[in-house]
Amino acid sequence: MCASLRQDAYDALVLDIGLPGIDGLETLRRVRAQGSHLPVLMLSARDGIDARVVGLESGADDYLVKPFALSELVARLRALVRRHDMRRSEQLILAALRYDAAARRAWVGERAVALSARECVVLQYLMLRTGQIVPREQLAALVPGWDASTSNNALELLMSRLRAKIEPAGVRLRTVRGFGYLLEPAAPE
């Protein structure tokens, strides 16, 4: 398994503690010893506090007790991948747009761009997914202080303001009707 992790790119790793041969905890220790920061969700029928603490202290990012609902597993994996993606890159660059995730600051060329906290979260997420359509719901779920009751108009307004700030950098923030948003380099003129 550890060799496969070195060769292929994965978004997350789901490990059961009760693996045959080498158990999940030892596998996790080996993965972490390789320097991997891959998000890991540990599964186990062991539901005691001590078992969960051992799993988390061994390097797991989350711990789920069996039996579980498949929808919860999927939701936890999505959350792990989202958090991992947000931390993955400190400096993001697209055309003349640069975003420093640690400082939460953006530049168009050499000019600093003032961004709100919400714009920072959305910009970083979109830059990590350059060239991919990001669903509206996914973006809205990331925005601090927003929930399912937040209107579509609020997201449209946020995207419009962000678009005005970043498009001078030679990037294009497109609305893909019925799907979401797409950040890409602007087409050459």
Which two structure tokens, joined as six digits, stand for 81? 């991948």
Intervals of CATH 3.40.50.2300 along the chain: 2-87
- The least confident of 1-5, 15-19, 25-29, 43-47 is 1-5
The CATH class for the domain spanning 90-185 reads mainly alpha
Which two structure tokens, joined as six digits, stand for 163? 């678009």
- The CATH number that domain 2-87 falls under is 3.40.50.2300
Does this model's pTM top 0.95? My answer is no
For residue range 137-159, list pLDDT tens digits in order. 888 878 777 766 677 788 899 99
| β-strand pairing of 180-185 with 171-176 | antiparallel
Integer CA distances (angstroms), 25 to 84, 99, 177, 180, in order = 21, 37, 45, 39
Intervals of CATH 1.10.10.10 along the chain: 90-185
- Cis peptide before 67, with omega less than 30 degrees from 0? yes
172 CA to centre of own chain: 21
For residue range 28-60, list pLDDT tens digits in order. 888 887 777 788 999 999 888 888 888 888 888
Which two structure tokens, joined as six digits, stand for 117? 């906290």
**Taking 90 as the threshold, does the pLDDT of residue 165 lie above it?**
yes
CA atoms of 168 and 27, how far apart (whole Å): 48
Between CA 60 and CA 152, with CA 127 as vertex, the angle to 5 degrees is 95
CB within 8 Å of 21: residues ≥ 6 apart: none
- What pLDDT does 170 receive? 94
65 CA to centre of own chain: 23
- What pLDDT does 136 receive? 87
User: Which one-letter DSSP state was computed for residue 186?
Assistant: P
